[in-house]
Amino acid sequence: MWPFIVFFVVYMFTQSQCNLLDLLEERSYLLERELAMMVGSEIKLSDSELKANEIIMKLKNDEIEHGFIYPNQFNLSKHFFEYKDEIKKTKLFQIIQSMPKGAVLHAHDTGLLSPDYVLALTYRKNLWFCWKKGEPNIDFYFSKTTPINPCVTGWELMEEARNASGDIAKFDADLRKHFTIVIDNPNKVYTDVNAVWQKFQQCFINTGNLFDYKPVYEQYYYDTLLEFRKDQVMYLELRSTLSNLYDLDGNVYDAVETAATYKRVTEKFMKDYPDFFGMKLIYAPLKLVDKATVQEYVRILLQVKKLMPEFLVGFDLVGQEDVGVPLREFIDELAEVRENVDLYLHAGETNWYGTTSDENLFDAIALDAKRIGHAFALIKHPLLMEEVKKRQIGLEVNVVSNSVLKLVEDPRNHPLATFLSQNMPVLISSDDPGIWEALPMSHDFYVTFVAVASRHADLKLLKQLALNSLYYSSYPEKHKLVHAFEIRWTKFIDAIVKDKW
């Protein structure tokens, strides 16, 4: 009897162990299959990249592990304004800052440099300003004499007002607030999407005539390229409204001349910095307009395209999507545009489901858009996700923008996590980083890597995201971009391995 009992116990223990091993083996198999689906999974790391990956992943895992144990201390679960400067001190951020990031394919012309830079522009000669009565907003204008533009409160010369203020530091601090949406208590003040968008759009309105002064416009754009290059960006596709410019002599320059200004400054910058691959222009005027206005947009587009066929590469319509006119209202005009340039359309920048906002995604795909801006609501449309993947439509995802503009409070919940897990054609961009005081690309890459992507996502993800920005660009000789990127990437990896941070 005893031998049987012993045999039975041993048998049951062995079976239990076998079942446990089978379960663990199946778990590992499922996990490996899922990781093999992620963005970057097809990249094979070299020996040097593997060493660099160990360093990067140690830093990443330390941050995540600390946040996992102490959730209230995880920076990236807070509002961006609370941690944007704090994370710059970390070694991982500094490594990502030095990483070659490929291209920026979603950025708006006058929202790219910091409020400190904009404030410095107000020290230029011949600048006048006007407080808008009953509103905490401001207007600017460059003129040799008092501007003739209407101003209820009266135009003041900036230099005189600043010197007469009695406290220049306070005067500048108050002025700076008109160039940023960053505040101390964002969750209390920006109670919903409309509230933060109102402040966001007002920043553009406040600086409109400041930037439209032709010498400022040229300098601002040149310095934008300088800042993007400094943040390891190789190439830019810029969305611009092509606003009319002016000078001190009373000359006004139309949209065509504004496009030509971009082209001239780009050529000068590339001459000064031959390692930069330039900029292509996406004409992106406002969408809260009528059909007649869009038809005028098309006229301007065709005129610029005829004069600068290699420089103007695309068209878009921009503005807050929930209050804008649906794309379907302009189907005829957009179909005409499509015959001449590629469409890179904002669509699905919304939390709503089954509304005109998220259903702009259907129009963008039907119109054969080459890339979709934001595509935040795409996660709710499984059929469209399949179409995006099948048609290889680039998704221009702007994580920090979506956070500060109230689409998602915690980036860990951003739909990009799903896009990354399913190897969607994703690229990372930054939208309007200057207005929320972010670096041109480093903040968006860092937040994506640490907060959005899987803890298992490593150097392969970072490399693939940078490469995707090159693959989905309109640059005519992508192989040259990729070759230059690989050289920079190798130097980046060597620096990590040699621990230059």
- State the DSSP string of 99-142: S---EE-SBBTTSSS-HHHHHHHTTSTTEEEEEPTTSS-EEEEE
Residue 23 confidence (pLDDT) = 87
Active site residue 346: no
Active site residue 374: yes
Residue 176 confidence (pLDDT) = 97
pTM score: 0.94
List, as one string, the DSSP characters of 407-455.
S-SSGGG-THHHHHHTT--EEE--BSGGGGT--SSHHHHHHIIIIIS-T
User: Assign residue 327 a region: left if phi > 0, alpha if psi is -120 to 50, beta otherwise?
Assistant: alpha
**Mean pLDDT, rounded, for 483-493:** 98
Is residue 497 over pLDDT 90? yes
Catalytic: which of 349, 359, 396, 437? 349
pLDDT, one tens digit per residue, over 430-441 is 999 999 999 999
What is the sign, positive or negative, of the torsion defined by CA atoms of 458, 463, 466, 467? negative
What is the sign, positive or negative, of the torsion defined by CA atoms of 344, 459, 404, 434? negative
What is the rounded distance in angstroms from the CA atom of residue 348 to the CA atom of residue 377? 5
> What are the two backbone dihedrals, phi and then psi, of residue 345, each rounded to the nearest 5 degrees?
-100, 130
Hey, what domains does the chain have and what are their CATH numbers?
86-113+232-496 (3.20.20.140), 117-179 (no CATH)
Q: Residue 210, class by beta-carbon neighbours within 10 Å (0-12 exposed, 13-18 middle, 19+ buried)?
A: buried
Is residue 11 over pLDDT 70? no
pLDDT, one tens digit per residue, over 158-172 is 999 999 999 999 999
Structure tokens at 111: 């929202």
Residue 314 pLDDT class (50, 70, 90 cuts): very high
H or E element, residue 50: helix 47-69
* Cβ(244)–Cβ(253) below 8 Å: yes
* Cβ(485)–Cβ(467) below 8 Å: yes
Q: How far is CA 393 from CA 10, 103, 425, in A?
A: 58, 16, 7
Residue 376 confidence (pLDDT) = 98
Which among 262, 280, 180, 176 has a CA at the least distance from the CA of 214?
A: 262
What is the rounded distance in angstroms from the CA atom of residue 96 to the CA atom of residue 444? 10
Residue 16 confidence (pLDDT) = 62
**Mean pLDDT, rounded, for 370-379:** 98
Alpha helices in 85-231 (DSSP H): 91-98, 115-121, 158-164, 168-176, 186-189, 193-211, 214-230
**Mean pLDDT, rounded, for 411-421:** 97
**Mean pLDDT, rounded, for 239-248:** 98
* Cβ(415)–Cβ(468) below 8 Å: no
Is residue 1 over pLDDT 60? no
Mean pLDDT of the chain: 94
pLDDT, one tens digit per residue, over 19-58 is 888 888 888 888 888 888 899 999 999 999 999 999 999 9
What is the sign, positive or negative, of the torsion defined by CA atoms of 92, 98, 104, 106? positive
Catalytic: which of 106, 178, 374, 381? 374
